[in-house]
Structure 1
């Protein structure tokens, strides 16, 4: 097994928020939605079932904690959680806060509109907010 490396597409499209015990937490650089991604720091894993049982449980715990904090911070109408990976084969789990007023509602956001990158100060503010409530860095 090789050492963990973040997929180049995730490196290009996201900013690092911090690390949980298992996963790296990323902020998708699209200000249209509060959109975060968990990436288990395990190499050569494409699907959840490929993780060891303890890692599966850890990923679920981290995902649930992230979901709870996203509801607290953003108060969305719905939280979309998905492990799709059609373009990026590395296992990653999207967490997207959705609102009835967002421009893609009620359709999925994937490929719907071109990304609207964060201004630097706005990205740093979102990262700091999440780091504070999750106690990660």
Structure 2
């Protein structure tokens, strides 16, 4: 593993730990001011900018207070000179949700760029697979 991969792995691991602890300042750390995020709940057009990104977390923290898990299961990173991306699977759900669907994983994709010699998250995408069994929306 390269030094850059180690740096990015640490950044993502710290972020996931901060999410699980409901530590908003730590969740926001290492994100660009112009972050774009597409998330599971609305708005479906995503959010743009650090202030909009910040506003998405309190409802998630409220939901997570029900005892939900937020844990990285797998993480892969590809690094270029000034751009990197990562994709991960996370265990994310309440005990009841995970018992009903133990195979369900939150999918996470991150786009990072190097700014002032440090890696910053510029794009974040969260999704769950459509388990409805319907292919009509493709």
TM-score bucket (shorter structure): under 0.3
Structure label with greater radius of gyration? 2
TM-score, length of structure 2 as denominator length: 0.28
Q: Which has the higher contact order (CA 8 A, sep 6+)?
A: 1
Which structure dedicates a bigger proportion of its chain to strand?
A: 2
TM-score, length of structure 1 as denominator length: 0.28
